[in-house]
Amino acid sequence: MILRHAFLGFVVMLPMARILAGESQPPRADDPKDKCCVLEPMIPGKPHLEGAAAAGWVARHVEGNPQSKIRVVIYEDLQCRDCAVLRKSLDEVLLPRFGKDVAFEFRDFPLPKHSWAREAAIAGRYFQSVDSKIASVFRRHIQGGIASVSAQEFRPALVKFATNHGFDPEKVLKAIADPAFSNAVDADFQQGVAAGIRRTPTVLIGDRTFVENFDLGALQQALEVLVKGSINNETSQKGEHK
């Protein structure tokens, strides 16, 4: 009975939080995507990341200008269809327009219900450790083929990608079991859960949050405000030092 009440409380609080955030409408009961990219209620408890401290940290993937003070945080699941839509918007609109001024930092949030999302995130961390550019190519490639990749087909698809891009397939497959990469992914996920992340994609821009299905125009406006503010601040600081 206690678990049932806790579950009902979670269901009630989540839509209310989305309404208060003001960035997206509450999900419709008949929306099939509502069940795709949302974290199911979890049993409360302290996460256990075996060997995480000993394994060290593996850098997150960043696109745009890594040195920028303007940092956009994107929690994504590489098996999420809405994340794939965001990926296309990044390539076609956001990076061309804001790439020189903004750092887009990707944090891994592979939902347990998705059969190959965690392995894809771990592979992405491996490619990131080799070259950020190839990590971008991998993420773009795997998100572009979501509809055609099943749990059984992911590893063959990964081997094919590795071979086509000059990587040793066996080394890439071993990387999936490497604690340095898997713990980094798990740490991102647990930090996201602790921060209240429940749906993918979730995009954090300043004090605004954009969740799952959002207005790209509103997101661009939020970026424009931050970029303009940063430019004005730099101009002001230069004037003070003259």
Give the model confidence (pLDDT) of 164-217 as tens digits: 999 999 999 999 999 999 999 999 999 999 999 999 999 999 999 999 989 999
Identify the CA nearest to 64 among candidates 107, 108, 100, 88. 100
> Please, how many CA atoms are within 13 Å of residue 14, restricted to the half-sphere of its CB?
18
What is the average pLDDT value for the chain, to the nearest integer? 82
Q: Which two tokens stand for residue 214?
A: 């959002």
Question: Tens place of pLDDT for every residue, the chain, 242 residues?
Answer: 544 444 444 444 444 344 334 444 444 444 455 567 898 765 444 334 444 433 445 789 999 999 999 999 999 999 999 999 999 999 999 999 999 999 999 999 999 999 999 999 999 999 999 999 999 999 999 999 998 888 899 999 999 999 999 999 999 999 999 999 999 999 999 999 999 999 999 999 999 999 998 999 999 999 999 999 876 665 455 555 55
| Predicted local confidence at residue 25, as pLDDT | 43
Residue 152 vs residues 58, 157, 172, 203: alpha-carbon distances, Å: 27, 9, 17, 30
Cα 122 from Cα 199, distance rounded (Å):
19
Q: What per-residue confidence (pLDDT) applies to 204? A: 97
Could you give the CA distance from residue 98 to residue 193 in angstroms, rounded to a whole number?
A: 28
Read off φ and ψ for residue 77, nearest 5 degrees: -120, 120
Could you tell me if 107 and 73 are in contact, meaning their C-beta atoms sit under 8 angstroms apart?
yes
Look at residue 59 in the predicted model and tell me its pLDDT. 83
User: How much is the pTM?
Assistant: 0.77
- According to the model, what pLDDT value does residue 29 have? 41
Q: What pLDDT, on the 0 to 100 scale, is given for residue 36?
A: 73
The hierarchical CATH code for the domain 58-228 is 3.40.30.10
Helix axes 117-130, 154-164, angle to 10 degrees: 20
Instruction: Return the CA Rg of the chain.
Output: 19
Q: Please report, for the chain, the start and end positions of each structural domain, with discontinuous segments joined by +.
A: 58-228
Instruction: Please report the pLDDT score of residue 233 as a whole number.
Output: 64
